[in-house]
Amino acid sequence: MEGRRPRMMPVIALDFPFPRPPEPGATLEIAPGLHWLRLPLPFRLNHVNLYLVAGDDGWTVIDAGVDTPEARALWEGVLAGILADRPVRRLIVTHYHPDHVGAAAWLCERTGAELVMGETEYLTARVHRLATADDLAGERSFYAGHGLGPAELDRMAERLDRYRSVVPALPRRYAPLRDGDRLRVGPFDAEAMLLAGHSPAQALLHVPGHDLLFAADHVLPQISPNVSVAEDKPDDDPLGRYVASLEALPRRVPDRTLVLPGHRLPFFGLHRRCAELVDHHAARCADIARFCDPATPLTAAEIVPLLFTLDLDAHQFWFAFSETLAHVNMMARRRELVSVQDGGVRRWRRAPAGLAPSAPS
């Protein structure tokens, strides 16, 4: 995520064949029939990349952006422009985060497109849309148990309430996308890969015949995708699954592949970027192990300012805290940290050498 120490994310030369992104609401042709659309976001990370693919029978749109008046106005321009020559047949949403699924209901209703989305991601979006006051209270209790005070908990509540404001509805029907599914996307034969980490089962689309990878937010250049621990699975290890997927991805996708990410610029250098991200998380864990002296165990909340040094808004603070907790959980599963209870608050200290890792989740 943005806002972390620069030394942790060295920018080793990746190849960016399209160094200037399109203006908001404009498109750039990447390959015949494949167009890159960029829309604005109301967050510090202020844009999302969407992709439009032309087929003989119509358009496929990959991801929808948030549902805001500004985004709708830009979409209307796109629909009246490049998409006007044929119908929009299908909307593929890669994961449940609001910058990818937010405008899906509006866009499907506006165009008649079918929503294609992984079942886990669709249902997770529904759960977030249906969150109640009791759910928010449970979130507060979970975060308080990791050391957050009242002011920080209020900031968390602000972020948690925001989901419905930019995802005001979801399509009532969808076609489930499964790992290994093969689908025709315009002129491309694509294979779906559902990978865990940034979200429970984010959809990547690999097009081996044209050396393309629609990577969504799984592999981003220059910034690392956020990986979070959910309150309903407090000891889960999503970061461990994410690191494992980064180690496996180069065996499945050749390095010559053009990566089309959900943010920043398309790039070549997938294998190097996967290795950088694995090294980045290993360095984070080394820092946390150093901070968590056995004599002075720390809460996850106390670790956050040691890792993240910039001023963070509510959105970024949640990213920082939840990502810190993801590292802590992975280290606990590996027996690199052990927890102690302190008045209902969980603290962490470096583990003695020789503890065997627990079974993977």
Render each residue's pLDDT in the chain as its tens digit; 361 residues.
Answer: 444 433 334 445 899 999 999 999 999 999 999 999 999 999 889 999 999 999 999 999 999 999 999 999 999 999 999 999 999 999 999 999 999 999 999 999 999 999 999 999 999 999 999 888 788 888 889 999 999 999 888 877 776 668 888 999 999 999 999 999 999 999 999 999 999 999 999 999 999 999 999 999 999 999 999 999 988 899 999 999 999 999 999 999 999 999 999 999 999 999 999 999 999 999 999 999 999 999 999 999 999 999 997 778 777 888 899 999 999 999 999 999 999 999 999 999 999 875 656 655 5
Tell me the domains of the chain and their CATH numbers. Answer: 6-350 (3.60.15.10)
Q: How big, in percent rounded to 5, are the helix, strand and coil portions of the chain?
A: 40, 25, 40
pLDDT at residue 152, as a whole number = 85
pLDDT at residue 9, as a whole number = 47
Distance (Å) of CA 182 to CA 169, 177, 205, 245, 249:
28, 9, 9, 20, 18
Residues making up the chain, counted from first to last = 361
Q: Are 202 and 94 in contact (CB under 8 A)?
A: yes
Distance (Å) of CA 187 to CA 56, 61, 81, 236, 237:
8, 13, 21, 40, 38
pLDDT at residue 3, as a whole number = 40
Question: What angle do the packed helices 270-291 and 314-333 form, to 10 degrees?
Answer: 80
Q: Which residue's structure tokens are 């005001």?
A: 168
pTM comes to 0.93
- Radius of gyration of the CA atoms of the chain, in A: 21
Distance CA 213, CA 257 (A): 7
Q: Nearest-5° angle of CA 216, CA 280, CA 146?
A: 90
Q: Are 287 and 7 in contact (CB under 8 A)?
A: no
Q: Which residue's structure tokens are 């449940």?
A: 96
The β-bridge relationship of strands 202-207 and 188-195 is: antiparallel
What is the secondary structure of 88-111 as a DSSP string? EEEEEE--SSHHHHTTHHHHHHHH
